[in-house]
Amino acid sequence: MKKNLMSFFCCVLSVIFLYTFKVCAASDIQRFGGEDRYETSIKISQGNWQDSDYIILVSGKNFPDALSATPLSKKYNAPILLTGSEEIGTNVMEEIKRLSPKYAFIIGGTGAISENVERQLTQKDIVCTRIAGEDRYETSAKVAQKIGTSNGAFITSGENFPDAVSVAAIAAAKEMPILLTKRDKLPDEVKKVMEANSKYYVIGGEGSVSPNAVNEIGDYKRIGGSDRYETNAAVINEFKNDLDFSNTYLANGYGFADALSGSAAAAKTKAPIALVSDSFNIKNSIIKYNIDNISTICVLGGTGVISDILVHRIINGGVIKVCIDPGHGGYDSGAVGPNGVLEKNVNLAIALKTGKILKANGIEIVYTRTNDNVPWPANVLQDLQMRCDIANNANVDYFVCIHANSAGTSANGSETYYSSGSVKGQKLAESIQKEIINATGLFNRGVKTENFYVLNHTDAPAVLVETAFISNPNEEKLLNSDSFQNTMAQAIARGVINFVSTQ
Ligand SMILES: [Zn+2]
């Protein structure tokens, strides 16, 4: 009762936010993402090179010339930066200054990267070498000459990028060039640089590189699947023993640019690049089978390219995980109703029922507590932080905190909170709130933002549901009844499921 007078919200404990500390997840996630592909290439460079004698400039607008650049980047330990065709943008130029290179390779003809770009570099006393052929195929052959083909080479389609991206970091690690071919004919310029008796790998299915195109090559091995993701997985599996999975990269299977600049960084540590997208089959992800060896997932591109949710689902092997946090517990009763109902017990009952429904719908549940023996000490901050740690360590996709409200005997209704600025948090809150009002007919207090500790210290989008007012005798009675708890749990679960199914 005293608590009711002390604060409008029973969740006053949650409002305390003193300092932030993050714990390591099972797999750490490091994102190299900018506003666009140019910014992303800068972020990748900043994250992996303190300085560099060499840089490689490729067109940010067109992939073909750039595809063969990664093995070159490994040979010269050079970051790959993207440029516009007419000029090097201000931010990319700032990054070049930071790296203070002596030499630059420009990959592609003046149609892809103009002479003006070259001038911008020579003005900074950077010696430029342009590697360019008549077309993408000849360009790949010229890059190959810089690397040499005595270790063999990878042959991929020059008409599409994913297979080349799949093999880029591996090719670099093995100091083998990437040669581009047409679907039905290996171009003469490419044939010229291929040495007899070397080991050749053809990357991609017969739809990408036909048997006709490569039948002149005596000894080759084809690594391919039915689509870009299967080929990607097949390539990674084939060279598993040459790769170090501790940093594993994710790149979008439908965009070349982030993957290309990322492949230079991946090649430094012999890291695989897994192609992903919302449409690929997460359950067969290469990540799933190697998760024990992965300490950091490096995401190439911003959240618009690879969403946080997708990353979490990939780490979790496709499962959606929701953390259910029954507010208060143990030493902390939460609010106490006029007839003595304890908030902590009501919260727990609704939380367990909600979790049970979600589980039945294929969602994995992580509870912060499942009874009144709480795992945290009787200390508010440690209590709240541990709830966040449980969710963060489990890499959950969403966090749902369940409370009952307290203000006075006449206050009534339901409300759901999210952290200001969290778009997904807001959508989840709206989805849950709508279902609660539909199911219970309680007064709709709407969705709101608040600096509750658990909303601000969980990695996943988070919501805090104030189911009803325990300080109101009518709602206290409802909260304490099994049927109302069931209705409330069904509504919360439906809100979660409706939201998740749109993601
Ligand atoms: Zn509470």
Could you tell me the distance, in angstroms and rounded to a whole number, from the CA of residue 451 to the centre of ligand 1?
Answer: 14
Q: What is the pLDDT of residues 312-337, one digit of tens each?
A: 778 877 788 999 999 999 999 999 99
**Mean pLDDT rounded to a whole number for the chain:** 89
Mean pLDDT of the 351-361 span:
94
List the structure tokens of 332: 């902390």
Cβ–Cβ under 8 Å, residues 68 and 107: yes
Closest alpha carbon to 479 in 343, 382, 354: 343
10: pLDDT strictly greater than 70: no
What secondary structure does DSSP assign to 48-91, as a single string?
H-S--SEEEEEESS--GGGGGHHHHHHHTT--EEEE-SS---HH
pLDDT in tens, 21-76: 222 335 688 999 888 889 999 999 999 999 999 999 999 887 777 878 899 999 99
Confidence band for 436, pLDDT divided at 50, 70 and 90: very high
**pLDDT for 13:** 42
**With contact defined as beta carbons under 8 Å apart, do 497 and 358 qualify?**
yes
pLDDT tens digits along 118-128: 999 999 999 99
Q: Give 330-347 as a DSSP string.
A: TTB---B-TT--BHHHHH
Distance from Cα 9 to the centre of ligand 1, integer Å: 7
Mind listing the pLDDT tens digit for each residue in 220-278?
999 999 889 999 999 999 999 999 999 999 999 988 888 888 888 999 999 999 999 87
Residues designated catalytic: 466
Reading the block at residue 215, the tokens are 């039948």
Q: How many CB atoms lie within 10 A of CB 290?
A: 17
Is residue 341 over pLDDT 80? yes
44, 32 Cβ separation under 8 angstroms:
yes
Query: 436-441: which pairs have CB atoms within 8 A and are 24 or more residues apart?
Result: 436/465, 436/467, 436/488, 436/491, 436/492, 436/495, 438/491, 439/487, 439/488, 439/490, 439/491, 439/494, 440/414, 440/468, 440/478, 440/484, 440/487, 440/488, 440/491
Which segments of 199-304 does DSSP mark as H helices, in order?
A: 211-214, 228-238, 256-268, 286-290
pLDDT value at 3 more than 50 = no
Bridge-based pairing of strands 414-418 and 462-469 is antiparallel
Largest CA distance in the chain: 89
Strand partners of residue 154: 178, 201
% of the chain surpassing 90 pLDDT: 69
Residue 151 pLDDT greater than 90, yes or no: no
Predicted pLDDT of residue 324: 98
pLDDT level of residue 7 (50, 70, 90 thresholds):
very low
Average pLDDT of span 437-466? 96
Q: What are the tokens at 452?
A: 């509750």
Task: State the Cα–Cα distance between residues 146 and 423, nearest whole angstrom.
Answer: 48
What is the reported pLDDT for 282?
A: 77
Rounded distance from Cα 335 to ligand 1 centre (Å): 6
Higher pLDDT, 292 or 102: 102
- State which amino acid sits at residue 364: E
The tens digit of pLDDT for each residue in 415-429 reads 999 999 999 999 999
Quote the pLDDT of residue 430: 98
**Ligand 1 mean position, distance from CA 344 (Å):** 7
Query: Which amino acid, residue 335?
Result: A
Query: 229 phi and psi, to 5 degrees?
Result: -75, -40
* pLDDT beyond 60 at 16: no
Strand partners, 58: 82
Read off the pLDDT band of 161 (50, 70, 90): confident
Residue 437 Cα to ligand 1 middle (Å): 19
What the block records as the tokens of 178 is: 């990437």
Q: Is residue 14 over pLDDT 70?
A: no
| Contact (Cβ atoms closer than 8 angstroms) between residue 157 and residue 181 | yes
Residue 180: name the closest of 170, 169, 195, 167 by CA.
167
Q: What is the pLDDT of residue 4?
A: 37
Question: Is the model's pLDDT at 18 over the cut of 50?
Answer: no
The pLDDT score that the predictor gives to residue 467 is 98
pTM of the full structure: 0.69
| Residue 503: band (very low, low, confident or very high) from pLDDT cuts 50, 70, 90 | low
Backbone angles phi, psi at 215, to 5 degrees: -70, -15
Reference 498, options 428, 405, 448; nearest CA is 428
What would the two tokens of residue 73 be?
A: 């980047």
Q: How far is the CA of 447 from the centre of ligand 1 (A)?
A: 16
Using alpha carbons only, how large is the chain's radius of gyration in Å? 28
Tell me the per-residue pLDDT of 175-221, one tens digit each, with 9 for 90 and over: 899 999 999 999 999 999 988 778 899 999 999 999 999 988 878 99
Distance 331 CA to ligand 1 centre (A): 13
Give the residue-averaged pLDDT of 141-154: 90
Q: Which residues contact 174 (CB under 8 A, 6 or more apart)?
A: 151, 239, 242
